[in-house]
Chains A and B, each alone.
Chain A
Amino acid sequence: MSPQELSDISEKWKIIKDLFREYYRKRPLKLPQDLELREIAIQVFDSPTYIRHKAFQTPDQLYKFIYLKIPRHIYYSSAKYSNPAAPSMDEKGWLGSDLVFDIDADHIPGCRQVHIYVCKDCKYSSSYKISKCPNCNSNNIEIIDLSLDDLCIDLAKNQVGLLIHALDVELGFSNFSIYFSGHRGFHIHVPLEEELAKLSSDERREIVDYLKGVGLSRDLILFSSKSRTRKATPALPRISNGGWRTRVSRIMLSKDLKKELEMYIKNMDILPSYKDMKRYLKDLNEALEQGKIYLDEKVTIDTSRLIRIPGSLNGKAGLIVIEVNDIESFRFNQELSPFNEIMMRVRYETSIPQVKILGMSIGPRHRGDYEVLPGAIAIWLALKDICTVLGITR
């Protein structure tokens, strides 16, 4: 990059960097007790590369580093190391890792994202898929995730509900925290200590497979060998049966069931008839599909994964990686941004169709248009290279 280009980039991000700095001045990070054992990594605004293998003894030292660098993204390692600043994994001395799960709305079937296709050379944009720019013939096309349906977040919340129930009631991990990822998904952290933290990747994969239903056998779950005669039918699972039977029971209870069956599933001392049991087998098959949790398995299996620090800002969307105490009442709106109380003047660098972002309808807008937008929306668009923030109007 030429010095001119570098100075343009740093000019472009100046206002946002100042806002990020101001945000981190409030010391908003939720840091682990064993901070000194974690690797810290950041990405800054002016370069796409990671600054890795950092380690800090105290929060003060970490914040000093943050004020100096103003990270666009900041992560810590799910792993604990005896020497977290060492440059190679061999030298770091792995002591174990927390268990981390990632649910991304865009990986869930049924979630529809609003993409636009932007020519990186001339900024021409299209809502339809293009592989070549019709304006300047360039092949340099970038897909930008402009926004996502509210339905996507609802689907992700539903998945989080399934996951935390499975972690707690089935696998017995009752100590976990849920975080909104600051963009379009959720992270679930299960802190592990000592021997448990030393689970290998293969062992973690077994947990992921369990949650995702990999290798799920309907016959084994329903003990089909016990009902192989024509005179018997598999019994519906009950909520306290355990394993996938518990998961499926919860899903069955959300369906329209005969009272008697509902009571049976809830463990009451009642036995539905052969006919009723048989009647609901179709719903049961459906429930077995609905119980599969859409996790990004790479995140869980990797024992040296970098994860976003709770309380930090996600540099893809400008929202806070915030702890969610009750997943049901989580709302995807502008309040997730620390900048929701300011207004910003922006210039569009790319045309966009009409779109709903964080609950607000905007557009269509053309390249070169000016607009004053709420801070949360302006920063969302700016971090996706749709617009440039020109100033703040408080």
Chain B
Amino acid sequence: MNSKIYIDLAKYPFLADLDIFMKERLGIGTESLGILLDPTLPYIDIAVKRFKEIMKLGEKAIHQMKLLSAEEEVFSFYILLLILSTLNNKRVTERVITAFAKRFSKFLEDEHGKTLEAIAESLNINLKYLGPCGKELTAAITVNGVEIHICYDYAVHVIDYIKIVSKRLSQSISWKLTNQIVYKGWVYLDRHKTIRFLEEAIALKIYSSIKPIEPIPELTDLINNLRKYVGLTTPYVSKRIEIKHEKIGIELPKEIINVNAFPPCIRNIYELLTSGSNLSHQQRFAIATFLINIGMDLDEILELFKHTPDFNEKVARYQIEHLAGLRGSKKKYLPYSCETMKSLGMCVSECNVKNPLIAYLKNIRKSKAGGEKSENNAKE
């Protein structure tokens, strides 16, 4: 029972404490983090190559990733986290983490129950390996009186279970605590579910380690390149919006979006959109043009449209960029006027303005005059 369990950090680099690992392998700790970025060392290349493959192929990219040495895996993994922190884009982060979590999950499939237990422990999760069919239930009985069994090999403490699944998984009924076998504070899982559970725990752990940071000097060029590579909005776009605003004579606070200041008609569509309703063409036009014109990042708009049931990233991206004047006629569209909104039956309240954008501006000003926090919001 006391035999030591060996966890291969090459397979699970997120378990390595970077400072300790660097000291062990390089004789210096994270105070000399820059050394990992030395272009003569392979780590940065591995990280960038993997990053690009994932952006291109998604989860499929993991099949092309060979298992390298522990140094290469751990150092390149932390460089990748550094890149994600600097890029600070939800969509990119999610894509990379989802793919990596799948990769780790594939490794977990080959591990012994006791190793899964140890990996869980490193993630602060109380998981017990019960042995093959450690808990057995009678699921059904045939006409001939034969029992059909169901087996559980693992149990996870109910609080740890809740902490992991309540973030995302419990939206699916098969993960809701309600439908689990929970006894004396332990949730019983089969091997397949245990691995999926650990995959989620790993993804959440990685998410929690990504915090927005300023690019470190050694990485500035690389980050700019990667920003372009993943199609993140360049400063060029913001400038363009600025010019437009000057032209119609209103100056909207850019970048910081205050949903509470949306006029009721837009608020209405926004809520429909985020709740996953299927919007009409006109509703899509109204909300997209509005958000573009108040200066929301195109990636963020795309993120919102992911809620639509018929979402197709390529098509949606093209349309949003088209409305933003980045494609085709290079004309940037304004939202419908209030008059048009009325005739389309989308106006829900009389705001006494000509365009929903003006209502937004007024609300922002109002909150600026009355609010303490909004002053910061108004500044870029």
List chain A positions with a Cβ less than 8 A from chain B: 169-173, 196, 199-200, 202-203, 205-207, 209-210, 213-217, 220-221, 223, 226-227, 229, 231-235, 238, 240-246, 271-274, 277
B177 and A223 contacting across the interface, CB-CB below 8 Å: no
User: A215-B176, A234-B140 are contacts. A203–B163 as well, Cβ < 8 Å?
Assistant: yes
Q: Which residues of A contact B170 (CB under 8 A)?
A: 206
Q: Which residues of A contact B135 (CB under 8 A)?
A: 242
Q: Which of A206, A220, A243, A271 contacts B173 (CB 8 A)?
A: A220
Considering only residues 157-181 of chain B, those with a C-beta below 8 Å from chain A are 158-159, 162-163, 165-167, 170, 173-174, 176-181
Bound-complex Cα distance A205 to B163 (A): 11
Interface size class of B (residues with CB under 8 A): 35 or more
B55: CB under 8 A from chain A? no
If A231-B144, A235-B139, A271-B145 are given as contacts, then 5 extra A-B residue pairs at C-beta distance below 8 Å, sorted by A number, are A171-B185, A210-B178, A216-B179, A244-B179, A274-B145
Q: Which residues of A contact B208 (CB under 8 A)?
A: none
A244 and B178 contacting across the interface, CB-CB below 8 Å: yes
User: A172-B185, A244-B179 are contacts. A274–B150 as well, Cβ < 8 Å?
Assistant: no
Bound-complex Cα distance A244 to B173 (A): 14
Bound-complex Cα distance A128 to B150 (A): 56
User: A169-B183, A172-B185, A196-B159 are contacts. A213–B141 as well, Cβ < 8 Å?
Assistant: no
Query: Shortest Cβ distance from A20 into chain B, in angstroms?
Result: 40
B139 and A226 contacting across the interface, CB-CB below 8 Å: yes
Bound-complex Cα distance A232 to B163 (A): 37
Q: Which residues of B contact A216 (CB under 8 A)?
A: 178-179
B360: CB under 8 A from chain A? no
User: A205-B166, A244-B179 are contacts. A273–B148 as well, Cβ < 8 Å?
Assistant: no
Q: Which residues of A contact B183 (CB under 8 A)?
A: 169-170, 240-243, 246
Bound-complex Cα distance A92 to B113 (A): 44
- Which of A202, A206, A217, A221 has the most C-beta atoms of chain B within 10 angstroms of its own C-beta? A206
B148 and A232 contacting across the interface, CB-CB below 8 Å: yes
Task: Closest B residue to A234 by CB, please name it.
Answer: B140
Bound-complex Cα distance A217 to B178 (A): 8
B40: CB under 8 A from chain A? no
Task: Closest A residue to B152 by CB, please name it.
Answer: A242
Report, nearest first, the 8 A-B pairs whose CB atoms are least far apart. Answer: A172-B185, A242-B183, A227-B140, A223-B139, A226-B139, A242-B181, A220-B179, A210-B177
Report the tally of A-B residue pairs with Cβ distances under 8 A: 122
Proximity string of chain B (143-159) to chain A, C-beta cutoff 8 Å, 1 when within and 0 when not? 11101101000000011
Query: Shortest Cβ distance from A228 into chain B, in angstroms?
Result: 9
Q: List 21 A-B contacts (CB under 8 A).
A: A170-B183, A171-B185, A172-B158, A203-B162, A206-B170, A206-B177, A209-B176, A213-B178, A214-B176, A217-B179, A223-B140, A231-B142, A231-B143, A231-B144, A232-B148, A234-B140, A243-B179, A243-B180, A243-B182, A274-B141, A277-B141
B179 and A215 contacting across the interface, CB-CB below 8 Å: yes
B14: CB under 8 A from chain A? no
List chain B positions with a Cβ less than 8 A from chain A: 135, 137-145, 147-148, 150, 158-159, 162-163, 165-167, 170, 173-174, 176-186, 188
B181 and A233 contacting across the interface, CB-CB below 8 Å: no
A169 and B184 contacting across the interface, CB-CB below 8 Å: yes
Bound-complex Cα distance A238 to B139 (A): 10
A227 and B148 contacting across the interface, CB-CB below 8 Å: yes
Task: Closest A residue to B159 by CB, please name it.
Answer: A196
Bound-complex Cα distance A213 to B188 (A): 18
Bound-complex Cα distance A204 to B373 (A): 30
Bound-complex Cα distance A234 to B150 (A): 12
Query: Shortest Cβ distance from B364 into chain A, in angstroms?
Result: 24
Query: Shortest Cβ distance from A274 into chain B, in angstroms?
Result: 5
Q: Which residues of B contact A238 (CB under 8 A)?
A: 137-138
Q: Which of A196, A200, A205, A232 contacts B141 (CB 8 A)?
A: A232
Bound-complex Cα distance A215 to B173 (A): 6
User: A173-B185, A210-B178, A215-B179 are contacts. A203–B166 as well, Cβ < 8 Å?
Assistant: yes
Q: Which residues of B contact A202 (CB under 8 A)?
A: 166-167
Q: Which residues of B contact A173 (CB under 8 A)?
A: 185
Bound-complex Cα distance A272 to B135 (A): 21
B179 and A226 contacting across the interface, CB-CB below 8 Å: no
A235 and B141 contacting across the interface, CB-CB below 8 Å: yes
Query: Shortest Cβ distance from B253 into chain A, in angstroms?
Result: 24
Bound-complex Cα distance A206 to B161 (A): 10
A206 and B166 contacting across the interface, CB-CB below 8 Å: yes
User: A216-B178, A235-B147 are contacts. A206–B137 as well, Cβ < 8 Å?
Assistant: no
Task: Closest B residue to A168 by CB, please name it.
Answer: B184
Query: Shortest Cβ distance from B349 into chain A, in angstroms?
Result: 28
Query: Shortest Cβ distance from A139 into chain B, in angstroms?
Result: 28
B178 and A215 contacting across the interface, CB-CB below 8 Å: yes
B162 and A199 contacting across the interface, CB-CB below 8 Å: yes
B174 and A172 contacting across the interface, CB-CB below 8 Å: no
User: A220-B173, A223-B140 are contacts. A172–B184 as well, Cβ < 8 Å?
Assistant: yes
Task: Closest A residue to B149 by CB, please name it.
Answer: A226
Q: Which residues of B contact A235 (CB under 8 A)?
A: 138-141, 147-148
B166 and A221 contacting across the interface, CB-CB below 8 Å: no
Task: Closest B residue to A276 by CB, please name it.
Answer: B141
Query: Shortest Cβ distance from B160 into chain A, in angstroms?
Result: 10
Q: Which residues of B contact A203 (CB under 8 A)?
A: 162-163, 166
Bound-complex Cα distance A181 to B181 (A): 32
Bound-complex Cα distance A274 to B138 (A): 13
Bound-complex Cα distance A244 to B177 (A): 10
Q: Which residues of B contact A210 (CB under 8 A)?
A: 176-178, 182
Bound-complex Cα distance A371 to B184 (A): 54
Bound-complex Cα distance A221 to B179 (A): 6
Bound-complex Cα distance A317 to B64 (A): 71
